[in-house]
Amino acid sequence: MKYARSNSGIYILSRLAPRSKQRGMFAMGPGFFASAAGGGPTDPYFAYVQSLMHFDGTNGSTTTTDVISGQVWTSVGGVLSTTAAKFGPTGLNAASKGFNSNVNAGFNMGTGDYCLEGWIMAAGSSDRCFLDTRYAGAGIGCYVNGSGYLGVTNNSAYIGAGSTAVSTTALQYVMVARYSGTIYAYLSGALQFSVADSRSYAPNTAITLGNSNVNGQTFGGYMDEFRITVGVARTTGGSTVPVPTAAFPNS
């Protein structure tokens, strides 16, 4: 796979302007939610993607590179593993924590729309966090909760949870998106819950995958193909979203 050149991220305000406005490219307008939610040859919202992690590499490697920024995410215990792969040669084995990004203003979600999506396989229940944006202040944690269900939390408490157990034997597609002040959470393409969340998330934050900013809440399972989109939700809150059938595209 090819990676973008290294940089430290682009400083963009909340409800971000697409990267294409800085690169002279054309970005598709509204109305492409169905196709943009899954994998495929091209992504009509690629200009809004702030992180794209394929977790492709050598089995046992402790480094992984972000396609968008070229940043090498720091392992805090996570390793690449052939047994964790959904697409490509390897995925993330987060049995001993995961990977942390550097501070990146591209992750500034503010009060706007966003979409956090990828593939997860849980190691069990008991509040295991697979994505956390709360390092710099207000943000969101995405969990498998104590009942084994998909859940999200703010900086002090759970604000929503589903009622379908996350698989402990196979990778499943998960999407957590905020559209017009409401979070919608999907598992294997089916809506699990929705909850109002109009908070302004902290700017200039780091993000962790497979770990939490709370001790003892390491995910412990497998992850693959994670994409972070800021400024576009990729859903308008329907009961289903398409499940990708291929790796997320690099363009």
- The domain that contains 145 carries what CATH number? 2.60.120.200
**Position 1 in a domain:** no
**Position 202 in a domain:** yes
Q: Model confidence over 27-75: pLDDT tens digits?
A: 333 333 333 555 668 999 999 999 999 999 999 999 999 999 999 998 8
Question: What whole-number percentage of the chain has pLDDT above 70?
Answer: 82
**Position 247 in a domain:** no
Residue 35 is given by DSSP the state H
Which residues touch 204 (CB under 8 Å, ≥6 apart)?
Answer: 103, 104, 105, 108, 136
Q: Rounded to an integer, what is the distance from CA 201 to the centroid of its chain? A: 15
**Position 244 in a domain:** no
Q: Rounded to an integer, what is the distance from CA 195 to the centroid of its chain? A: 18
Q: What is the dihedral of CA 192, 198, 202, 207, to 10 degrees?
A: 10
pTM: 0.84
pLDDT tier at 80, thresholds 50, 70, 90: very high
**Position 10 in a domain:** no
**Position 31 in a domain:** no
Q: Rounded to an integer, what is the distance from CA 148 to the centroid of its chain? A: 19
For residue 241, the number of C-alpha atoms closer than 13 Å in the C-beta half-sphere is: 30
How confident is the model at residue 50, as a pLDDT? 95
Residue 69 CA to residue 67 CA, distance in Å, equals 6
Residue whose C-alpha is closest to residue 249's, from 107, 45, 89: 45
Domain total of the chain: 1
pLDDT tier at 14, thresholds 50, 70, 90: very low
**Position 108 in a domain:** yes
The partner residues of 52 in beta bridges, in order of sequence, read 227
Per-residue CA distances from 75 to 88, 219, 223 (Å): 20, 14, 14
How confident is the model at residue 2, as a pLDDT? 35
How confident is the model at residue 105, as a pLDDT? 82
Kindly report the backbone phi and psi dihedral angles of residue 72, in degrees, each rounded to the nearest multiple of 5, phi listed first.
-90, 110
**Position 180 in a domain:** yes
Residue 243 CA to residue 251 CA, distance in Å, equals 19
Question: What whole-number percentage of the chain has pLDDT above 90?
Answer: 61
Range(s) of the domain holding residue 93: 47-230
